């Protein structure tokens, strides 16, 4: 099934292309827009106008005029010189997302590429030629230059690419896929690399995953409250009507639904620690921030972010602007990273409460019945503590930093790609913390059941999650390699979220 480039692209559209292999279809209107903008570029070349990025060098070389016979060399050199990324490769889904975003903005007809060049990029995406793109090296303006240049390398038959599970030199990958590399002409190299595609792809995939992680966090909190045999009175709708943040109300409503029908809940208890009592307020605030970040990234996903921009129609023009600057995404992803940190912080505190006999309401220390000989889940909390502490370092905002580049022409940069990568790393740490909490809550629930003087049963909705976990992870009577258990849960978190 193909995805036609719609008037407005949503994050889930990118996920379909990046992860599910959905192919992209381009309308005739898109093709007409591309050809119209290309005509203006060719007109500039014929008339020998001085126009940045078309007949001049780039960045600090903006005043260096390039002769027409040097145009192809200029574009090739631009790609070669900008392919300076370092670090491990970005995941294939991120790279496919970058390519989709490139196609999305190039299709709008403000970039001046040839239809042939555009179609070659579409062919690469649709036929599974995925360039190898190092994760580091972008300062987020003039856009994601280095990551995008590594994609352009394969477009011209250089670099490396993943094709059908193997990494090949770019030229060979293209040949195996039946695609002919292109020779870039005036403006095309700049149009392809001057963008915010890398930060936007990383951010889009992260925010998509953050939605299911929020569901996991809610069900994890609900299982932990039942394991504690705590009270749910703090989730009463009357409480939240007095502080009507939309996400706070939604989380409280979800918790009530998740806990409905549980005999583990003890309404006689007066109150719980903040990490239980304030889940709607904390998770709700996180949800508010993630919604904000999603709105920013969705706008960026639908933007044209290269430079200079070409305007067709009755008053054709070429304007050198700054849409490649990733400040909006940088701030949004710093905010998302900070919010996700709190999701890990509150989870680790619930975990600690379940393990500590001073707070766990008569459960054995570290949830093991033969303590001393067995350490139980004691050290899993150390891992959680290490991860949430690391997140505090990662939460330092990248967007407040700037190092001028290109001889001070690019004198304030966004660091947006760093912000997005940091947020993704925070997400991964939080996912493990929640997995440890789920392991602990299921262990505690089994201890309760084993020693209860009456039959206890979980709420129907949380029992689905408990049963899912118990099909793979047994009750622990003696110390074992706990890591394999909580990492197994981590690998199943998206499936767990679907049960909520």
User: Dihedral of the CA atoms 54, 58, 60, 64 (nearest 10)?
Assistant: -40
Using DSSP bridges, classify how beta strands 309-311 and 160-163 pair: parallel, antiparallel or unpaired: unpaired
Helix 197-228 / helix 279-301 crossing angle, nearest 10 deg: 160
Peptide bond into 308 cis (omega under 30): yes
Cα separation of 490 and 172, whole Å?
37
Residue closest to 227 by CA, chosen among 266, 255, 253: 266
Give yes or no for a contact between 291 and 251, defined as CB atoms under 8 angstroms apart: no
CA–CA separation, 187 and 113 (whole Å): 7
Catalytic member of 52, 105, 168, 208: 52
Tokens of 133: 């793109």
How is residue 233 annotated by DSSP?
A: G
Look at strands 130-131 and 160-163 and give their pairing: antiparallel
Q: In degrees, to the nearest 5, what angle opens at C-alpha 397 toward C-alphas 396 and 402?
A: 120
Q: Where are the alpha helices (DSSP H) in 302-415?
A: 327-355, 378-394
Q: What is the DSSP letter of 58?
A: S
Query: In 66-76, which positions are buried (b, 16+ CB within 10 angstroms) versus exposed (e)?
Result: beeeebeebbb
Mapped to the 3 state alphabet, what secondary structure does 458-493 carry?
CCHHHHHHHHHHHCCCCCCCCCCCHHHHHHHHHHCH
Q: CB count, 10 Å around CB of 487?
A: 15
Cα–Cα distance between 379 and 158 in angstroms, integer? 48
| Residue 235 CB partners (closer than 8 Å, separation 6+) | 252, 255, 256, 259, 279, 280
How far apart CA 447 and CA 493 sit, in angstroms, is 23
Residue with tokens 């000989």: 373
Q: What gap in Å lies between CA 414 and CA 321, rounded to an integer?
A: 15
105 given a catalytic annotation: no
- Residues belonging to the active site: 52
């Amino acid at each position: 099934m193909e995805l036609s480039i719609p008037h407005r692209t949503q994050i889930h559209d990118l996920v379909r292309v990046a992860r599910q292999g959905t192919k992209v279809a381009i309308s005739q209107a898109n093709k007409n827009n591309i050809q119209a903008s290309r005509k203006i570029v060719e007109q500039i070349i014929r008339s020998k106008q001085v126009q940045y990025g078309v007949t001049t060098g780039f960045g600090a070389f903006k005043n260096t005029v390039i002769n027409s016979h040097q145009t192809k060399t200029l574009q090739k050199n631009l790609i070669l010189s900008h392919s300076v990324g370092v670090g491990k490769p970005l995941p294939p889904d991120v790279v496919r997302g970058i390519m989709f975003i490139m196609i999305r903005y190039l299709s709008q007809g403000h970039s001046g590429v040839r239809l042939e060049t555009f179609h070659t990029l579409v062919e690469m995406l649709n036929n599974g030629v995925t360039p190898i793109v190092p994760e580091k090296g972008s300062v987020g303006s003039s856009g994601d230059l280095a990551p995008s240049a590594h994609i352009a390398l394969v477009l011209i038959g250089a670099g490396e690419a993943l094709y059908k599970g193997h990494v090949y030199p770019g030229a060979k990958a293209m040949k195996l896929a039946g695609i002919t590399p292109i020779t870039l002409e005036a403006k095309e190299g700049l149009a392809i690399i001057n963008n915010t595609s890398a930060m936007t792809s990383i951010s889009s995939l992260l925010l998509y995953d953050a939605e299911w992680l929020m569901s996991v966090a809610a069900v994890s909190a609900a299982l932990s409250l039942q394991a504690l045999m705590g009270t749910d009175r703090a989730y009463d709708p009357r409480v939240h009507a007095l502080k009507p943040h939309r996400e706070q109300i939604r989380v409280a409503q979800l918790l009530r639904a998740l806990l409905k029908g549980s005999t583990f809940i003890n309404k006689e208890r007066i109150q719980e620690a903040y990490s239980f009592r304030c889940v709607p307020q904390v998770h709700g605030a996180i949800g508010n921030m993630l919604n904000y970040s999603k709105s920013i990234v969705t706008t960026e996903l639908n933007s044209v972010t290269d430079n200079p921009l070409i305007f067709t129609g009755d008053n054709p023009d070429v304007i050198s602007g700054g849409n490649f600057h990733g400040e909006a995404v940088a701030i949004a992803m710093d905010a998302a990273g900070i919010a996700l940190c709190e999701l890990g912080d509150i989870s680790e505190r619930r975990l600690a409460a379940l393990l500590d006999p001073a707070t766990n309401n008569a459960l054995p220390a570290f949830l093991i019945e033969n303590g001393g000989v067995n350490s139980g889940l004691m050290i899993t909390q150390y891992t959680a503590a290490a991860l949430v502490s690391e997140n505090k370092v990662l939460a330092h905002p990248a967007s407040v930093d700037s190092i001028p580049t290109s001889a001070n022409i690019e004198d304030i940069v966004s660091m947006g790609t760093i912000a997005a990568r940091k947020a993704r790393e925070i997400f991964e740490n939080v996912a493990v913390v929640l997995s440890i909490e789920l392991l602990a809550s299921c262990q505690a629930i089994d201890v309760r059941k084993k020693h209860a003087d009456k039959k206890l049963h979980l709420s129907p909705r949380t029992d689905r999650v408990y049963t899912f976990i118990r099909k793979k992870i047994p009750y622990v009577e003696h110390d074992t390699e706990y890591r394999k258990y909580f990492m197994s849960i981590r690998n199943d978190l998206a499936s767990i979220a679907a049960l909520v």
